[in-house]
């Protein structure tokens, strides 16, 4: 073959490449349009039957020199790229996504602003047990300058025979203590029917790990104006976590906080495995404030401080921990709650680390 012939053939290939490029992008634009239509109709974007039919037509018409297998392989790559294109479009459109809203969401709990770059500590007992118990904790929080108290009134317990919480009575105790000490209060709600009334007593509705994919609860929480703290499910991926938050936002409630609380792994020396990498990933992917529950993730009092530091160093907007006046007699999570002197010590150490008061902005 002469030099001349070779360059002629190469020229032809170059032309075909450009035609293929134009055709591939024309095809991609049509696939995107189909994706939009499917989204409106709520149809699944991946349609294996349709792909199979297209491949049958293509291999039937195939006259070579490519084999049917090669043609199938090449077109499957094209189908996959089109599907990825439709899905990345959908991800961009998520309300929780930073691609949708670049600035950090700041949630104003009546003067206590979360997500500003100044971290918060949310502390309090695992469960509300009595007025005396909650008042003792509230007093300790106030003395430390902590603004947000936690306490469970509806407890999602593993065993039906364990203490289930005081219910509405518990919410009333929390409100009373919060008002007395000028605190904001957060408590878990487990039943969609309780979401509306909860707003009368608490400043933030917590949706617990076990309910992260309780879609009716998420929808109910999305239909009120009360801010929501959503915990990551026991075995939820970050994508599933963000989709759960999207359920709330898509119903109109844009005051959502995320909380990493450890995931289940094979590790037994901690109650769950604290996924610190979740913090910078969630902060990058989403504009919502991110908390880390250092108590339920570790289940250990002895490593609370390093885990709190790690969370704040990784960019968390705050931490959550359990504090009880007398953990030994606590009706739930007795082994992991810390008493008030330990909490005071913990706060002193956290402040000394420079990570707590430090502003990130």
- Positions in the binding site for Mn ion (CB under 5 A): 126, 333
Find the shortest distance in angstroms from Cβ 173 to ligand PEP. Answer: 16
Cβ closest to ligand PEP, residue 95 vs residue 122? 122
Omega cis (within 30) before 130: no
Residue 261 binds which one of ligand PEP, Mn ion, none, with CB within 5 to 8 A depending on kind?
Answer: ligand PEP
Interaction between residue 293 and ligand PEP (CB under 6 A): yes
CA distance 352 to 315: 18
CB of 75 to Mn ion, least distance (A): 53
Best CA proximity match to 127, nearest among 226, 206, 233, 229 = 206
Reported as half-sphere exposure (CB side, CA atoms, 13 A), residue 72 has a value of: 10
How buried is residue 190: exposed, middle or buried, by Cβ count under 10 Å (0-12/13-18/19+)? Answer: buried
Structure tokens, 114: 């979360």
Shortest Cβ distance from residue 24 to ligand PEP (Å)?
47
Contacts (CB under 6 A) with ligand PEP, residues 201-230: 208-210
H/E run at residue 53: helix 48-61
107 contacts which partner out of Mn ion, ligand PEP, none, CB within 5 to 8 A by kind?
A: none
CB-count burial class (<10 Å; 0-12, 13-18, 19+) for 31: middle
Q: Which of 296, 301, 309, 324 binds ligand PEP (CB under 6 A)?
A: 296
Strands 228-231 and 318-322: unpaired
Given ligand PEP, Mn ion, none, residue 208, with its beta carbon under 5 to 8 Å by kind, binds ligand PEP
Contact mark string toward ligand PEP, 136..155, x via CB under 6 A: ----------------x---
- For ligand PEP, give the closer residue by CB, 285 or 293: 293
Report the residue number, 95 or 310, with the smaller CB distance to ligand PEP.
Answer: 310
Among 96, 107, 126, 258, interactor with ligand PEP by CB under 6 A: 126
Total site size for ligand PEP, rule CB under 6 A: 11
Residue 293 binding result from ligand PEP, Mn ion, none, given CB thresholds of 5 to 8 Å by partner type: ligand PEP
Do 186 and 206 touch, CB atoms closer than 8 A? yes
Q: How far is CA 357 from CA 6, 59, 148, 293, in A?
A: 71, 66, 15, 18
Binding residues for ligand PEP, per CB under 6 A?
126, 152, 156, 188, 208-210, 231, 261, 293, 296
């Amino acid at each position: 073959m002469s030099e001349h012939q070779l360059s002629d053939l190469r020229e032809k290939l170059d032309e075909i490449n450009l035609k293929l490029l134009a055709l591939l992008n024309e095809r991609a634009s049509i696939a995107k349009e189909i994706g939009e239509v499917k989204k409106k109709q709520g149809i699944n974007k991946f349609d294996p039957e349709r792909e199979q039919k297209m491949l049958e037509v293509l291999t039937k018409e195939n006259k070579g020199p490519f084999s049917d297998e090669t043609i199938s392989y090449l077109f499957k790559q094209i189908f996959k790229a089109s599907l990825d294109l439709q899905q990345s479009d959908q991800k961009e459109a998520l309300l929780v996504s930073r691609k949708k809203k670049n600035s950090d969401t700041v949630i104003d709990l009546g003067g206590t602003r979360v997500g500003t770059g100044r971290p918060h500590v949310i502390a309090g007992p695992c469960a509300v047990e009595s007025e005396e118990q909650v008042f003792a904790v509230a007093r300790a929080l106030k003395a430390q300058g902590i603004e947000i108290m936690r306490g469970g009134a509806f407890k999602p317990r593993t065993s039906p025979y364990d203490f289930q919480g005081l219910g509405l009575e518990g919410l009333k105790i929390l409100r009373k203590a919060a008002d007395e000490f000028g605190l904001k209060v957060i408590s878990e709600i487990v039943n969609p029917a309780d979401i509306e009334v909860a707003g009368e007593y608490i400043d933030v509705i917590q949706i617990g790990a076990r309910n992260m994919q309780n879609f009716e609860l998420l929808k109910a929480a999305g239909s009120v104006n009360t801010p929501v703290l959503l915990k990551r499910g026991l075995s939820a991926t970050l994508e599933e976590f963000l989709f759960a938050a999207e359920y709330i936002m898509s119903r109109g409630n844009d005051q959502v906080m995320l909380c990493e609380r450890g995931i289940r792994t094979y590790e037994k020396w901690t109650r769950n495995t604290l996924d610190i990498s979740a913090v910078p990933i969630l902060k990058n992917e989403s504009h919502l404030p991110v908390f880390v529950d250092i108590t339920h993730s570790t289940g250990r009092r002895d490593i609370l401080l390093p885990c709190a530091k790690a969370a704040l160093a990784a960019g968390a907007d705050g931490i959550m921990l359990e504090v009880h006046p007398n953990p030994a007699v606590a009706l739930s999570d007795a082994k992991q709650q810390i008493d008030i002197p330990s909490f005071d010590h913990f706060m002193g150490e956290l402040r000394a680390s420079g990570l707590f008061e430090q502003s990130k902005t």
